[in-house]
Chains A and B, each alone.
Chain A
Amino acid sequence: MNPLLEIRDVSLSYHTVSGETRALSHISFHLMPGEFLAVVGPSGCGKSTLLNLICGLLPTEKGTILMNGTPPLPGDPRIGYMLQKDHLLEWRTIYRNVILGLEIRKELTPQKLSCVEEMLKTYGLDKFRNAHPSQLSGGMRQRAALIRTLALKPELLLLDEPFSALDYQTRLNVSDDIGRILRKEQKTAILVTHDISEAISMADRVIILSARPAHVARIVPIRLSLTERTPLASRSAPEFKSYFNLIWKELNQND
């Protein structure tokens, strides 16, 4: 099977008048279809920059990024992106928020819309379709944001600390929720986070980045002995603690 995403020797610098800052240095990894990858690293190490490169919002300076053999374009339809906050637009109803992507891409086809309908029903947002975002709980809002992303049927999903704006309890519930949905829809995803537990509980593989300029310090495959793997259940798996210690040690080594 060919990898869905290939990242080969990617480096990037930020340029400002006062000088050049090296953000990423010789990053290489690949991602198989259906795989869930987590990227952890110290804050400010360039994790979000990496996602911006992958989705084509930033042009690659050195190295190549290939998605199914072709480099991603800005706003690539093959890639869905979930930002740190849900960014639901308060002046639109939930339904009109959810179809925002389809509206922009001019893909309001009956087929895509019925798919949205189904997701709204499956994920319990159907009765809130005419509500405004402020009337929904944090978890519901994240679900709506996820449906907005999934409505475009992306092959690859990028999650940029999508739970970091939530309080701890909501955060556990929402990450469990979103994790289940992504497994069910069999999505390939890259999760960027600074939360080690979150990375282990959701991912098949964890990539550890070093401090700036970030390089891949280590790639840790996560194998948990569980019958059904959900993010919440993963947290009580016997191997969880040793993975946590391993990643914790690796992160602190690089300080």
Chain B
Amino acid sequence: MTDLSPAQKKYLTHIRHEKYLIRISRIFLFLGFLLLWEISAREEWIDSFIFSSPSAIGQTFLHMIQDQSLFAHIGITLMETLISFAFVVLLGIGTAVLLWACPKLSKVLEPYLVVLNSLPKSALAPLLIVWLGANVRTIIVSGMSVALFGSVINLYTGFRGADPEKLKLIRTLGGTKKDELTKIVLPSSVPLILSIMKVNIGLCLVGVVIGEFIGARCGLGYLIIYGSQTFKLTWVLMSIVILCVIAMVLYAMLDLIEKYTLKK
């Protein structure tokens, strides 16, 4: 390390302190919230039957881990999310490529895509149950329906934004539309694809939980609905906390993939 001037050292210390402060504040906010919740429930400021409490949630969590039922619920939700995400990636990129390759087709389909994208997908879920039955397939389709149309539109817009001069370069080198795609459009869209997918994995989770609300025997969405119907609100709150953690982990996973890919 080179010698730093006192002013530079002071600046760096200041930056570091600020970082610590933010991190500690975050942790305290979380712990403070839990503490307040717990005390409010014990002192009966709030009705612990409907608001539950952190300790009750923790106990339920431990209990359900012991009888191993929780893993099945988490596992199925996670699996459905990942499968629908994989389909969204494949179908999203595939459709966007198709639209890019046939400008006429994309012009024809544009209004339909916009409508499908703006449509609240939860409205589709009851229909999907009837059409496809109350099974895993329906839930995967429900997960896909939330993320697919938006990602097609975003990917297609990104593909079209490829530098026209670079496409001309490919043509002057004797390349075809396929070369434009594989040499320019796809490689230049890698950062875009990754950032779109980062958003989409969360959307898939949303769709999967909506699907589980209506047509499942297992999964965290089922747990939430079952819990609310039998007034086991501790179950509901625990499932929500687990969903938060899953969403965070999935996002962090793709964030890591993005950082790794872009660094190369």
Contacts and interface: CB of A to CB of B under 8 A. Distances in A.
Nearest to A84: B165
A75 B187 contact: no
Given A89-B187, A91-B188, A83 B174 contact: no
17 contacts: A55-B172, A57-B172, A75-B171, A75-B173, A75-B174, A76-B174, A79-B172, A83-B165, A83-B169, A87-B163, A87-B169, A89-B166, A91-B190, A100-B183, A104-B173, A148-B173, A152-B174
Given A75-B172, A87-B165, A100-B183, 7 more contacts: A81-B172, A83-B172, A91-B188, A100-B173, A104-B173, A104-B183, A152-B174
Given A89-B184, A89-B187, A75 B175 contact: yes
B183 A89 contact: yes
Interface in B156-178: 163, 165-166, 168-175
A33 interface: no
Contacts of B188: 89, 91
Interface residues of B, number: 17
A76 B165 CA distance: 18
Interface of B: 163, 165-166, 168-175, 179, 183-184, 187-188, 190
Contacts of A152: 173-174
A152 B183 CA distance: 17
A77 B166 contact: no
Contacts of B172: 55, 57, 75, 79-81, 83
A76 B173 CA distance: 8
Contact of A57 (B166, B168, B184, B190): B168
Contacts of B175: 75, 104
Contacts of B190: 91
A151 to B, nearest CB: 10
Given A55-B172, A57-B172, A104-B174, A87 B183 contact: no
Nearest to A104: B175
A74 interface: yes
Interface string A198-238: 00000000000000000000000000000000000000000
B174 A85 contact: no
A34 interface: no
Interface string A64-91: 0000000000111101110111010101
Interface in A70-123: 74-77, 79-81, 83-85, 87, 89, 91, 100-101, 103-105
Contacts of A101: 173-174
B219 to A, nearest CB: 40
